[in-house]
């Protein structure tokens, strides 16, 4: 998806992200006895830490997949796989901040078939790949995560639409 296809922004503060990741933990609690978490880096690191704390999980690993370059998505590149899983991948929890086009989700599903895939935010194109999510946003929305933003003057919506 190119930068030109994002027509809206959805800023998320640290407090909102924490609240939404905790809501994800509430949805995941009691579904099964999780054996560990695999966070998809980099965006899944913060939500995975919150979910791990809330579900009292101590076994955490990462999968590193590069698909984004600022606001454009490209071909998925696996940088690091996970060592978790074992025989029963159904007890493994994969956590990411967002499923967008589903490119990363398809790679993760192939690497860890049977694992439970959970994201804080989901867009329509990637939503079928996710087992659990908290908030759906439109496909043409760029989510502005707190680690990617700074405080600055914000233009009113009407003014930004005149440009």
Catalytic residue of the set 56, 88, 97, 110:
97
Interacting residues of 132 by C-beta distance below 8 A, sequence separation 6+? 24, 27, 28, 31, 116, 117, 118, 119
Catalytic residue of the set 20, 61, 88, 96:
96
Is residue 110 annotated as a catalytic residue, yes or no? no
Catalytic residue of the set 20, 56, 88, 100:
100
Is residue 97 annotated as a catalytic residue, yes or no? yes
E strand segments, 3-162:
8-11, 36-41, 60-69, 72-80, 92-99, 116-122, 132-136, 141-144
Is residue 100 annotated as a catalytic residue, yes or no? yes
Give the residue numbers annotated as catalytic, written as ranges: 96-97, 100
């Amino acid at each position: 998806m190119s930068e030109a296809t994002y027509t809206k922004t959805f800023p998320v503060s640290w407090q909102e992200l924490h609240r939404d990741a905790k809501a994800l933990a509430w949805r995941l609690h009691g579904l099964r006895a999780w054996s560990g978490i695999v966070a998809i880096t980099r965006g899944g690191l913060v939500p995975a830490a919150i979910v791990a704390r809330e579900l009292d999980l101590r076994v955490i690993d990462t999968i590193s997949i590069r698909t984004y370059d600022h606001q454009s998505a490209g071909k998925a590149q696996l940088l690091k796989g996970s060592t978790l899983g074992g025989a029963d991948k159904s007890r493994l929890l994969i956590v990411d901040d967002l499923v967008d086009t589903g490119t990363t989700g398809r790679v993760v599903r192939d690497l860890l078939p049977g694992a439970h895939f959970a994201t804080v935010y989901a867009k329509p194109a990637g939503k079928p790949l996710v087992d659990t999510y908290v908030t759906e946003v439109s496909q043409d929305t760029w989510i502005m995560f707190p680690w990617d933003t700074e405080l600055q003057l914000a233009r009113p919506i009407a003014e930004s639409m005149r440009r």
